[in-house]
Amino acid sequence: MSRFNAIRGFKDIRPEEAPLWRRLEEAAREVARRYDFEELRVPAAERTEVFARSLGEATDVVEKEMYSFTDKSGESLTLRPEATAGMMRAVLEHNLAEGGRPARLFCFGPMFRYERPQKGRLRQFHQLDVEIYGDPGPGADAELLAWLAAFLRELGLGDLSIRLNSLGCPVCRPAFRARLTEFLTARADALCPDCRRRLGLNPLRVMDCKHEACRAALEAAPRTLDHLCPGCAGHFETLKELLTALGLAFQIEPLLVRGLDYYTRTAFEILSGDLGAQNAVAGGGRYDGLARELGGADLPAVGFAAGLERLAMLLKDRAPAVAAGPDCYLAVLHPSAMLPAFKLAEALRGQGLRVAADWAPGSLKSRLKRADKLGAARVFMLGEDEMTSRRATVRDLASHEQSLFDLTPYLT
Ligand code: HAM
């Protein structure tokens, strides 16, 4: 026990949990390879303005949840609450989307949001982010959803379905926004204080509110899908056709707006009934205006992020990993065996085997117990007699068969 615990909402990933995380990362890398995506690693912090401009001033993330601080030079920095803004900053800074074909990038890493911790909601959590830059068509949206579905299938979670909506674009959204504002203003008394305040800032935020009263007020509200311009309507129709052709199940969710403001046209989420209140496994959409917001030229983009803690929770329940033990355990039973045991361990490791050992000499009984606990496949017994006979007894712990192993090369 130490005097200190991890910070509230920040969690250690313990050694017994690490294989599950590796499985998530390996599955993602394998799918990235098949879909021809490259890895981009961006810093854990950016200038606060990068997020404030990208995510929207009236979002919960920017209003309440950012870990912002002033550094020693007086600059306001923020631990990234999500990766999309920082990735776009990097894509623009390094011109990654210029040249012949769209940039197709993925990124893993910790994100930080000052939320109230609960099951499936942490203050430091991890995301897999997958993004396509430079392709304005619905094909890119469909390919990303296929990517996500392939990733979930690879993990054995192929039964999760997609919730889909279109949020329009700068051509059709202003008129929709005006209608929604008019509708909600007439019902302002029924809204929660947060939504009443946000009504003037961004009425679409109300569509994301979880309060019962606000949800009830929204029942008869105008829907974005009924107010799309021909460009957005065509994009959405083709996307639906592509998803159907790919055999990807989806459900239209007319109130889906997502918690961030940068989305244009496509918005989607993947929910799981097995997660309780925090049921979104992944979310994303198109954000064609973000590059300009960050001072770049027009660069259409679409992407998603999956929450790795939530996927780990699903995997743990549905397909627990079987922890494998070392290939060999070296039981050092006498001080004279220590040096040969070291040499033998290095030689076995050199052959690619996983080798565990305890170097302080102990009794055979205690060492066999330990090998058993570690789940070792075989034990090399290295005592005084073995040093004299130059042969170690090797016991296979599953079959209990024993054999002799020549120690001569390790004795000099
Ligand atoms: P988001 O919906 O805010 O989207 O987060 C994506 C996923 O991260 C969620 O579906 C959830 O699984 C996980 N997540 C979010 N907050 C927490 C938390 N406090 N604790 C645990 N897991 C959490 C984005 O972040 C966008 N950047 C997605 C995107 C990428 N859009 C376009 N490209």
In a domain, 256, yes or no: yes
Ligand 1 atom having least distance to the Cα of 115: 19
Residue of 82, 106, 119, 271 to test ligand 1 pocket, by largest number of atoms within 8 Å of CB = 82
Asked whether residue 334 falls in the same domain as residue 306, the answer is no
pLDDT at 200: 85
What atom in ligand 1 is closest to the CA of residue 281? 12
Tell whether 149 and 30 lie within a shared domain. yes
Number of domains in the chain: 2
DSSP string for 139-161: HHHHHHHHHHHHHHHHTT-TT--
> For residue 346, what are the domain limits?
328-410
283 shares a domain with 167: yes
Give the residue, by CA position, lying nearest to ligand 1 atom 1: 283
Q: Ligand 1 in contact with 259 (CB < 6 A)?
A: yes
Compute the distance between CA of residue 321 and CA of residue 312 in angstroms, rounded to an integer.
Answer: 11
Query: Any idea which of 7-16, 30-39, 296-305, 321-330 has the lowest mean pLDDT?
Result: 321-330
- 57 band by pLDDT with thresholds 50, 70 and 90: confident
Are 129 and 38 in contact by the 8 Å Cβ rule? The answer is no
355: domain CATH number is 3.40.50.800
Residue 131 Cβ inside 6 Å of ligand 1? The answer reads: yes
In this structure, are residues 55 and 94 in contact, taking their beta carbons and an 8 Å threshold?
no
From 265, 290, 318, the end of a domain falls on 318
List pLDDT tens digits, range 72-87.
999 999 999 999 999 9
Structure tokens at 135: 């392709």
The atom number, within ligand 1, closest to the CA of 81 reads 25
Say if CB 350 and CB 328 are below 8 A apart: no
Are residue 239 and residue 364 in the same domain, yes or no?
no
Cβ–ligand 1 contact at 299 (below 6 Å): no
Could you identify the atom of ligand 1 that is nearest to the CA of residue 129?
A: 30
List the end-to-end C-alpha distance of the chain, in Å, as a whole number.
43
The answer to whether residues 78 and 153 belong to one domain is: yes
133 lines ligand 1 (CB under 6 A): no
Asked if the model's pLDDT at residue 115 lies above 90, the reply is yes
CATH number at 131 reads 3.30.930.10
The answer to whether position 220 is within a domain reads: no
**What is residue 35's three-state secondary structure?**
coil
Residue 120 lies in a domain: yes
Same domain, 124 and 241: yes
Q: Which amino acid is at 274?
A: D
pLDDT at 319: 67
Residues 6+ apart with CB under 8 A from 95: none
Reported pTM: 0.91
Give 101's pLDDT tier (boundaries 50, 70, 90).
Answer: confident
- Residue 193, in any domain of the structure: no
Burial class (CB in 10 A: 0-12, 13-18, 19+), 192: middle
pLDDT at position 117, please? Answer: 96
Q: Best of 111, 130, 163 to mutate for ligand 1, by most ligand atoms within 8 A of CB?
A: 111
- Asked whether residue 132 is assigned to any structural domain, the reply reads yes
Give the mean pLDDT of 377-392. 96
Q: Determine, yes or no, domain membership for 267.
A: yes
Q: For a pLDDT cut of 90, what percent of the chain falls above it?
A: 84
Same domain, 292 and 333: no
Identify whether residues 356 and 270 lie together within a single domain. no
Evaluate if residue 99 carries a pLDDT over 80.
Answer: no
Q: Is the CB of 127 under 6 A from ligand 1?
A: yes
Question: What is the average per-residue pLDDT within 374-380?
Answer: 96
Q: Which of 295, 318, 341 is the last residue of a domain?
A: 318
Note the pLDDT tens digit of each residue in 200-246: 888 998 998 888 999 999 999 999 999 999 999 999 999 999 999 99
* 123-138: pLDDT as tens digits: 999 999 999 999 999 9
- Tell me the two tokens of residue 91: 């894509």
Higher pLDDT, 57 or 332: 332
Residue 305 Cβ < 6 Å to ligand 1: yes
Q: What pLDDT score does 321 carry?
A: 64
The confidence score (pLDDT) of residue 384 equals 94
Atom of ligand 1 nearest to the CA of 259: 3
Q: Clarify whether residues 303 and 344 are in a common domain.
A: no
Q: Average pLDDT in the 163-169 region?
A: 97
Same domain, 391 and 242: no
Can you give the pLDDT at residue 320? 63
| Residues 277 and 375 reside in one and the same domain | no
Q: Does the pLDDT of residue 25 top 70, yes or no? A: yes
144 and 276 together in one domain? yes
Q: How many angstroms separate the Cα of 159 from the Cα of each of 81, 152, 272, 282, 348? A: 28, 8, 9, 14, 43
How would you class 209 by CB atoms within 10 Å of its CB: exposed for 0-12, middle for 13-18, buried for 19 or more?
A: buried
Residue 390 Rama label (left phi>0; alpha psi -120 to 50; beta): left
Q: Is 122 in the pocket of ligand 1 (CB under 6 A)?
A: yes
Domain boundary among 298, 318, 338: 318
Residue 200 in domain: no
Q: Is 189 a domain residue? A: no
Task: Indicate if the pLDDT at residue 365 is higher than 80.
Answer: yes
* Whole-number pLDDT of residue 221: 94
Residue 335 pLDDT > 90: yes
